[in-house]
Amino acid sequence: MTDPLFFLKLGGSLITDKAQPETALPEVIFSLLSDLQRYRESNPSQKILLGHGSGSFGHHAAAKYNTREGVRTLAQWQGFREVWESARKLNQVVLDIGRQAGLNLIAFPPSAGLLSRQGQVVSWNIKPIELALENGLTPMVYGDVVFDEILGGTIFSTEELFAHLATILKPIRILLAGKEEAVFADYPLNQQPIRHITRTAALEGYLQSSQNQDVTGGMRSKVDQMQAICQANPGTTVEIFRASQPGELFSALSGTHSGTIIS
């Protein structure tokens, strides 16, 4: 691919109520996707790969069965299917609302095509994603269960999917939209935002995990993963920002930097 590409993630804590199992926030989702559609109308040649977290649709079931750590027993495989179904429910909500907002979304569930080994991607045919981008569609991935050669099954977060896709698709920007204004050094007090993090900065001791249940590690894990992406892809900049109010996502897409930059 030759045209510049953006990756955009809508965080699970932004589009769901993570304290209530399987509770989507349709008005928030519609506002976000309307912002995205408005940006796309203003920038029709811009290619965007969309991702979203599972929030309360995936993490509760995953924690119940410890799916992230592996799937071996019959009960765990039943749990694997439950996590798959729960994540798929939210994805369908996003697809339906995207259609209402005028977006041409098309979903690529990782569970249908990604094979891992000990939590590392072994194979994933992303040519269909590339073709979707080339033909004016907005491909969408999301946190999902995957089959694993060693663990039986596991879970990949959207950030982990982005990390693999970034090595091939080379996005110039990765935007992570959430509820918080930025990455904070004093979470959960949230009085000391960190405006810039270098790709090699050591974060030990002052970045914490998520307040609500998050089987994929919370903010600390997200920053670690994004730093790794930036190290592997020097042309990529990551932005972590708040998009809970109408217009905030449009501003971020348009280049207004109001959160934390990782570069």
Query: Tokens 């932005």 correspond to what residue?
Result: 239
Q: Please check whether residue 217 is in contact with residue 156, taking contact to mean a CB–CB distance below 8 angstroms.
A: no
pTM of the full predicted structure?
0.92
Phi/psi for 59 (5° steps) reads -70, -35
Query: What's 137's DSSP letter?
Result: -
CB 64 within 8 A of CB 29: no
pLDDT of residue 208: 54
Place of tokens 């992406």: 229
pLDDT > 80? residue 37: yes
pLDDT for 30 equals 98
Average the pLDDT over each of 12-16, 26-30, 46-50, 212-216 and give the range with the smallest value. Answer: 212-216
Identify the domain containing residue 9 by its residue range: 5-262
- The answer for residues whose C-beta is within 8 angstroms of residue 52's C-beta and 6 or more apart is 9, 10, 11, 12, 15, 90, 91, 94, 140, 142, 143, 158
Task: Find all residues with CB under 8 Å of 29, minimum gap 6, and list them.
Answer: 10, 15, 93, 94, 97
- 133 in Cβ contact with 1 (< 8 Å): yes
Domains: count for the chain: 1
Residue 216, pLDDT above cutoff 60: no
- Which CATH number do you get for residue 229? 3.40.1160.10
SS3 letters for 1-60? CCCCEEEEEECHHHHECCCCCCCECHHHHHHHHHHHHHHHHHCCCCEEEEEECCHHHCHH
* Least confidently predicted of 37-51, 65-79, 157-171, 219-233: 219-233
Tell me which amino acid residue 87 is: A
Per-residue buried b or exposed e for 1-10, using 16+ beta carbons within 10 Å of the residue's own CB: eeeebbbbbb
Q: Which residues contact 234 (CB under 8 A, 6 or more apart)?
A: none
Closest CA to 139 of 54, 49, 52: 49
pLDDT in tens, 136-158: 999 999 999 999 999 999 999 99
- Residue 42 pLDDT grade (very low, low, confident, very high; cuts 50, 70, 90): very high
| Model pLDDT for residues 55-94, shown as the tens digit of each residue | 999 877 888 899 999 999 999 999 999 999 999 999 999 9
With CA atoms as reference, report the closest residue to 241 among 174, 158, 155. Answer: 174
Cα dist. 45→59, 138, 233 in Å?
Answer: 35, 12, 23
Report how far apart the first and last C-alpha atoms of the chain are (Å, whole number).
Answer: 22
**110-140 tens-digit pLDDT:** 999 999 999 999 999 999 999 999 999 999 9
